Structure 1
Amino acid sequence: NEWWDLCAGPHVESTGHIDKNAVMLESVAGAYWRGDESNAMLQRIYGTAWENEEQLKAYLYLKEEAKRRDHRRLGQELDLFSIQ
């Protein structure tokens, strides 16, 4: 059993160095190893961590702004096109 770290980093030496108010779990999802249902299901965990809470809030604000300006949502609301 080898461990391969696929994340280039940067990393912190300990989670004790991370501001607990600057971390957010964004979503979780299951995925089969190599996309094959006969393989074991893996758990994907998506999250984000920042130096401080203000940076996290700024990131979340920009992410929400991007959602509001998404051409797919706007196009449907303005009846410019429809996605099927």
Structure 2
Amino acid sequence: MASIYDRGADDAFRQALSEARQAALTAQDLVEVTCPHPDCGRTATAPTPDAGREITVTRSAALVGEYEKVHCPAGHKVFVHYCKTP
């Protein structure tokens, strides 16, 4: 029986989908972050940081500083901290 699966076409589609998703996020001022929970690795979206700040993703909130709480598709709480760069 002949296979109709084309790995090359599938890889090209996944790459194009990833690029389109990134372009849409950029247009909406969002960034994609990866869930830090063990064995999860799913992605969630968070607001883009202001200039001069970088993102740190953790499983808990900080006592001080700016952060956003988002949820990954598996329902985990993810805290996105916006840290000043030196």
TM-score (normalised: structure 2): 0.21
Identify, as 1 or 2, the structure richer in strand. 2
Q: Which structure's CA Rg is the greater one?
A: 1
TM-score (normalised: structure 1): 0.21
